[in-house]
Chain A
Amino acid sequence: MTELAVFDKQIRRAKAILEGWGGAVEHLQVPFTTREEIESFKRRVGLAQRKEGKPTIVMAEDTAVELGHPRDTSINLVLWTFNPELIEDRTIHLYGPDLDKTNGARLPYAQIILLALKKGFSVDPFSLESAQFLSNRLPGYMVRMLPGRLWVRVSRQALLDGLNFSVLGGALIAAYYDDFPGVEKAEVAFVTAGNDMVKEFVSIAAETKIIAGNNKKLTLVGDGEYECEDLNCDDCGEREVCDDIRDIIILRRKGKKE
Chain B
Amino acid sequence: MKSIAVSGKGGAGKTALTAMMTKVIIGKGTPGKILLVDADPAGGLAPALGLSVEITIGNIREEIIRSVRKGGRKTKAQIAGAVDYKIMEALAELESFSFLAVGRTETDGCFCPVNDLLRDAIEILLKDFDLVIIDGEAGLEQINRKVMRSVDSLIIVTDPSHRGKRTAAGIKDIVETQRLMKSDQMALVMNRIKGAVGLGEEAAREVGLKLAGCIPEDENITRYDSMGKPLLELPEDSPGVVAVQGILENLRIN
Taking Cβ atoms with an 8 Å cutoff, the residues of A that contact B are: 55, 57, 59-61, 70, 126, 130, 133, 144-147, 149, 151, 213, 216, 218, 226, 228, 230-231, 233, 236-238, 241-242, 244-249, 251-253, 255
Q: From DSSP, what is the main secondary structure of chain B's interface residues? A: helix
Q: Which residues of A contact B120 (CB under 8 A)?
A: 249, 252-253
Q: Is the CB of B89 within 8 A of A130?
A: no
Q: Which residues of A contact B125 (CB under 8 A)?
A: 57
Q: Is the CB of A241 within 8 A of B65?
A: yes
Q: Is the CB of B109 within 8 A of A248?
A: no
Q: How many A-B residue pairs have CB under 8 A?
A: 104
Q: Is the CB of A245 within 8 A of B114?
A: yes
Selected contact of B93 from candidates A61, A238, A241, A248, CB within 8 Å: A61
Which stretch (B5-13, B67-75, B236-244) binds chain A?
B67-75
Task: Kindly name the residue among A133, A218, A245 whose own CB sees the greatest number of chain B CB atoms within 10 A.
Answer: A245
Docked complex Cα distance between A233 and B114 (Å): 14
Known contacts A151-B85, A151-B88, A248-B80; 14 further A-B pairs (Cβ under 8 A): A59-B98, A70-B85, A144-B84, A218-B74, A231-B112, A241-B69, A241-B111, A245-B64, A248-B68, A248-B117, A249-B120, A252-B120, A255-B80, A255-B81
Docked complex Cα distance between A237 and B69 (Å): 12
Q: Is the CB of A249 within 8 A of B128?
A: no
Q: Is B83 an interface residue (CB 8 A)?
A: yes
Interface set, chain B 51-85, CB cutoff 8 A to A = 64-65, 68-69, 71, 73-74, 76-85
* Top 6 A-B pairs, shortest CB-CB distance: A252-B80, A251-B80, A60-B93, A144-B85, A245-B113, A57-B128
Docked complex Cα distance between A55 and B121 (Å): 10
Docked complex Cα distance between A236 and B113 (Å): 13
Q: Which residues of A contact B65 (CB under 8 A)?
A: 241, 245
